[in-house]
Amino acid sequence: MPALLDSAKPAVVSASTLAGYRVRSSENHDLGTVEEIMIDARTGRLAFAVLCFGGTLGLGDKLFAIPWNLLRLNTEERALVLGCDCARLQGAPAFDQDDWPDFGDESWERRIHDYYGRGSPLDPGSSKGRELARSQSGGVQSRR
């Protein structure tokens, strides 16, 4: 997983600061902007950045949910760097401004994570899945 920050400063930034940031590929191609940042209320962690790739890569003005762990903050350029191949975005699941998906739908979340090859954080074997299971069981882990 790429580090969130390119440098040690700042370690904490506001979500409103990141909304509107440019998104670039690792090859420094301009891909669009952050439209919104989605927080997983179950864990309190950042889940997705909703990106608007208006007209780039021939994608039109669509929105894309990108798993947060695919992005790295470049504080010097005030941009987020996407850690996947630009060609991957051409077939990425997209949605319209007026028809947002249900971000709380676990099957939708799994499809997005699977598409980007990250695996779902809701899978029992993942650290987020284990964290979610602990929180739902009151912190008690079962013994097998």
pTM: 0.71
CATH number of the domain residue 26 falls in: 2.30.30.240
- pLDDT tens profile 109-138: 999 999 998 665 554 444 444 344 344 334
Residue 23 lies in a domain: yes
For residues 35 and 98, the answer to whether their CB atoms sit within 8 Å is no
Residue 25 lies in a domain: yes
- Tokens representing residue 132 in the block: 């979610």
Residue 31 lies in a domain: yes
Q: Which residue has the higher pLDDT, 81 or 143?
A: 81
Residue 53 lies in a domain: yes
| Exposed e or buried b per residue across 54-83, where buried means at least 16 C-beta atoms within 10 angstroms of its C-beta | eebeebeebbbbbbbbbbbbbeeeebbbbb
- The tally of domains found in the chain comes to 1
- Cα gap 142→136, rounded to integer Å: 12
- pLDDT tens profile 29-54: 888 899 999 999 888 889 999 998 76
